[in-house]
Structure 1
Amino acid sequence: MNMFIVLFVMILINISITFLAIYLYKKKMFVQYNRMLQRLDRVLAGKRLDTVYDESLDSAISERLNRIIELTEIQTGRAESERDIVKSLISDISHQIRTPLANITLYIGLLKEEIAEEKAIRLSDKIEKNAEKLDSFMKDLIKSSYAEQELISVTPRYMEVDELIKKGCQYVELEALKKNIQIDAEYHGYMGYADPKWTEEAIGNIIENAVKYSPEGTSVRVDSIQYETFVCIQIKDNGIGIPEEEQGKVFQRFYRASNIRDKQGYGIGLYLAREVLRRQQGYIKLKSVQNKGTTVEVFLLKKTS
């Protein structure tokens, strides 16, 4: 009987030691994993780890994590440098080409006034259309360089919303005139929180889309509405609209709806507008019915008294 008691006690002691060893091991592993997570958090934040150079596994892990940070910094520096070079190159090329392109367009207009032969007029019309196409490509090229998020740096302030609408309408006056499209703008004297340069660009892009995708002889309406917190700039056209299943994608970079693939453009304007507005605490909404028109609403923070 005593032997059974002794055996039972020994088994009980062994089980207790085993459970204690498992508990201590788990506790040790938890501490090590927690330390590893803290190190990874520092690495993700771009901070180097303090390393003691010895033969331990802990030191080897820290040293390799530091090497990862160094390699990441090198690659990031190279990418930023290359991006800046590309941006500068695009900007230089665009500005150098746009001046002679504007001169070509001007000279074509003067030439058409002087010539009377039908064949010469047809040729000058073709030159003019190709010059317009090249100008459109150059504008999209500039927008694509703007679309880099790091390049969009806004300095918003409270300003007249009417001024943004006027500049946005001026942005597309020539295109609207060529298509005999009437731009009807309403002015109310509201104040909104916006960066003048970037927001004018964003509004201009939206109105440009409205003109581009509207039939000749129609109209585009630009109005502003004041709500409790925001001022809304509303751009409404009577154009081809956007398929319902694609309306959630049109603010993606380089996305173009399936019913406009035959028209010029790279799908940058709405993406650029969304990024500009997001950086100044505003937002953008879109409502569209295919073949009936599109309404784009730009929301700017309202100035409170």
Structure 2
Amino acid sequence: IEGLNRELEKRIRERTAQLNDTIAELKELNKNYELEIQKKLEAENKMKETLRKEIELNELKTKFLSLVSHEFKTPLSGILTSVMLLEKYRLTEQQEKRDKHLKTITNKVHYLNNILNDFLSIERIDSGKLNYKFTTFNLSKIINEVVYNANMLLKSGQRIHIPQSVDEYILYQDEKILELALSNLIHNAIKYSPENTAIEIGVRQKGSHMIFTVKDKGIGIPEKDQKHIFNRYFRAENAINSQGTGIGLNIVKNHLENLGGTITFKSAENVGSVFKIDLPLDMNK
């Protein structure tokens, strides 16, 4: 009996060992199977993400081409009309009419140039090919240049108010980006404000940062559109009939954030808007 028991125990041990080996093999197979499934899922998700990005890119390209076609067609038509009319106004007493059409041509060319610059900025932002140049400059230089250029775009009776204190501030920043940001906000204020209204520029220091504000009494931004206002190509419902690409604020926001700054706003439809830029005074600190 003892011999039988020993033999039985031996067989049980052997079968148990075989069973354990089989379980280990099954676990390894299951592990490999799970890894294979995981790899397939990751590959599938990667393909889905690639497809999503491709669809998104195609949509952006379609929107871009439509935008370019629309935004270039109108000013080019205006330039062509003005050139044709200029040929008719040859008499000395018609100088005023010639000047009017020359101004139209100049404004349209500036507009087209700004659009091209915006598109180039987008390309550089998306590709990461940004090269910021920091210099020391007096704030009054930038403010005066921006306001001087903006004055040529003012509607009848519009005026720009600037603070007297701008000479006090010295910045170490990328002056081209600051000029771009302020120009964008002021041009928008002019475009979306009626005649005989004031656009107010505010400047103050807050610790190691400069705060800039641009306040207008324009059409404002509908509340439902405000959360999208910095999205690329977005146009507020009440601004669709005005010329514009919907990319200016997106570009400004990207640049300011790259420089450690922010842009925010408060707006009420048919009341006006206040945009605020918060930017470090000195990029060395």
Q: CA deviation at 1:128?
A: 6.1
Alignment partners' CA distance in 2, 1:204 and 1:145: 17
Alignment partners' CA distance in 2, 1:281 and 1:180: 37
Give CA-to-partner distance per residue, 1:44-96, whole Å, 9 cap, x none. Answer: xxxxxxxxxxxxxxxxxxxxxxxxxxxxxxxxxxxxxxxxxxxxxxxxxxxxx
Q: CA deviation at 1:27?
A: 7.4
Q: CA deviation at 1:28?
A: 7.4
User: Does 1:185 pair with 2:162?
Assistant: yes
Instruction: State how 1:159-174 maps to structure 2 within 5 Å.
Output: 159-174=137-152
Q: Select the residue among 110, 125, 144 that pairs with 2:119.
A: 144
Q: CA deviation at 1:130?
A: 7.0
Alignment partners' CA distance in 2, 1:157 and 1:237: 30
Alignment partners' CA distance in 2, 1:195 and 1:205: 16
Give structure 2 stretches of 5+ with no counterpart.
44-75
Give CA-to-partner distance per residue, 1:141-169, whole Å, 9 cap, x none. Answer: 33222332246421124433333222221
Match of 2:61 in 1: none
Match of 1:202 in 2: 181
Match of 1:70 in 2: none
What is the letter of the counterpart of residue 145 of structure 2?
K
Preserved contact between residue 214 and residue 238 of structure 1 (Cα < 8 Å): yes
Q: CA RMSD in A?
A: 4.2
What is the letter of the counterpart of residue 115 of structure 2?
D
Q: Match of 1:284, SS?
A: strand
Give CA-to-partner distance per residue, 1:144-201, whole Å, 9 cap, x none. Answer: 223322464211244333332222212211112x332110011342334421123212
Give structure 1 stretches of 5+ with no counterpart.
41-96
Alignment partners' CA distance in 2, 1:172 and 1:137: 16
What is the letter of the counterpart of residue 142 of structure 1?
N
After superposition, the Cα gap between the structure-2 partners of 1:290 and 1:125, relative to the gap in structure 1 and judged at 3 Å, is same
Alignment partners' CA distance in 1, 2:263 and 2:205: 15
After superposition, the Cα gap between the structure-2 partners of 1:111 and 1:202, relative to the gap in structure 1 and judged at 3 Å, is farther
- Quick one: percent identity of the two aligned structures? 24
Instruction: State how 1:64-143 maps to structure 2 within 5 Å.
Output: 114-115=93-94, 132-133=107-108, 135-143=110-118
Q: Match of 1:175, SS?
A: coil
Alignment partners' CA distance in 1, 2:32 and 2:160: 72
Alignment partners' CA distance in 2, 1:194 and 1:111: 49
User: Does 1:255 pair with 2:234?
Assistant: yes
User: Does 1:280 pair with 2:242?
Assistant: no
After superposition, the Cα gap between the structure-2 partners of 1:31 and 1:244, relative to the gap in structure 1 and judged at 3 Å, is closer
Preserved contact between residue 228 and residue 234 of structure 2 (Cα < 8 Å): yes
After superposition, the Cα gap between the structure-2 partners of 1:135 and 1:190, relative to the gap in structure 1 and judged at 3 Å, is closer
TM-score, with structure 2 as normaliser:
0.67
TM-score, with structure 1 as normaliser:
0.63
Q: CA deviation at 1:226?
A: 1.6
After superposition, the Cα gap between the structure-2 partners of 1:225 and 1:260, relative to the gap in structure 1 and judged at 3 Å, is same
Q: CA deviation at 1:223?
A: 1.1
Match of 1:211 in 2: 190
After superposition, the Cα gap between the structure-2 partners of 1:144 and 1:7, relative to the gap in structure 1 and judged at 3 Å, is same
User: Does 1:12 pair with 2:52?
Assistant: no
Give CA-to-partner distance per residue, 1:113-150, whole Å, 9 cap, x none. Answer: 8239xxx96x9968865774464344323322233224
Between 190-199 and 235-244, report the one with greater CA deviation. Answer: 190-199
Preserved contact between residue 156 and residue 280 of structure 1 (Cα < 8 Å): no
Alignment partners' CA distance in 1, 2:16 and 2:102: 98
Preserved contact between residue 173 and residue 281 of structure 2 (Cα < 8 Å): no
Preserved contact between residue 203 and residue 273 of structure 1 (Cα < 8 Å): no
Q: CA deviation at 1:8?
A: 3.4
Q: CA deviation at 1:19?
A: 3.1
Match of 2:131 in 1: 153
Q: CA deviation at 1:217?
A: 0.3
Q: Match of 1:115, SS?
A: helix
